[in-house]
Amino acid sequence: VELTKGFQLRDARPVDCPALTTIVRTSSAYAGPYRVMVAPLAIDVAYLAANPTRVCADDQDVAVGFASLLLPGRGDAGEAGLDYMFVDDRWQRRGIGRALLADVVAIGERLGVRRIHIVSHPPAEPFYLSVGAVHVGEVAPAGRITWTRPLLRLDMT
Ligand SMILES: CC(C)(COP(=O)(O)OP(=O)(O)OC[C@H]1O[C@@H](n2cnc3c(N)ncnc32)[C@H](O)[C@@H]1OP(=O)(O)O)[C@@H](O)C(=O)NCCC(=O)NCCS
């Protein structure tokens, strides 16, 4: 997957934490009733240490999107969960999400992951379907998340 000129994929660093947290909390895909899900979330140094996290950075090295894996995630050995998958509102629909997802998939593969489970934000499902994920079910509302979410699966071939 090729990225637009000036952007690069790299590991997330402690210095990225405020930008990543802002991307999550300001995402317009989580406006209105969905805001309660992202409002308390914060990406901190402990999170980065525990979860493989890759960012897409612009030509000033500022993060404009990121993706991370939960290891182990849902399911059995060799299976992971996609945790965060966000692109800043201003930079969506330019292929950054696709590039980031391919990048964390490759990292998972090197760690022996063969399947990634994705609990999708409902409006993001077309994105995951477009990159080869398969809809396998629904996740019921729980806690502050009062809506049903699609469950998808991405198998490495
Ligand atoms: C989901 C998200 C990460 C996708 O990132 P992106 O950089 O915009 O996606 P890409 O440009 O790589 O899109 C790849 C393909 O996915 C599909 N796609 C992406 N966004 C879509 C949308 N809103 N509606 C329909 N299809 C979409 C398209 O097929 C697209 O290819 P195309 O632009 O050539 O048609 C981004 O929209 C986002 O951050 N959303 C808000 C946060 C969120 O909901 N994250 C998911 C949490 S589970």
Q: Could you tell me if the CB of 29 is within 6 A of ligand 1? A: yes
| Percent of the chain residues topping a pLDDT of 70 | 97
Give the sign of the dihedral formed by CA 40, CA 46, CA 48, CA 50: negative
Query: What mean pLDDT do residues 90-106 have?
Result: 97
Which residues are CB-neighbours of 35 under 8 A, at least 6 positions away? none
pLDDT at residue 74 in the model: 62
pTM: 0.96
Question: Chain-centre distance of CA 25, in angstroms?
Answer: 14
In tens, the pLDDT along 30-77 reads 999 999 999 999 999 999 999 999 999 999 999 999 999 998 766 678
Q: Is 121 in the pocket of ligand 1 (CB under 6 A)?
A: yes
Task: Please say if the pLDDT value at position 106 is more than 90.
Answer: yes
| Mean pLDDT, residues 90-117 taken together | 95
128 CA closest ligand 1 atom index: 16
Residue 36's pLDDT is 95
User: In the prediction, which pLDDT does 157 show?
Assistant: 81
Query: What's the gap in Å between 92 CA and the centre of ligand 1?
Result: 7
User: What separation in Å is there between the alpha carbon of 143 and the centre of ligand 1?
Assistant: 26
Instruction: Please give the sequence-ordered ranges of beta strands (E in DSSP) within the chain, or none if there are none.
Output: 8-11, 53-57, 63-70, 79-87, 115-119, 134-139, 149-155
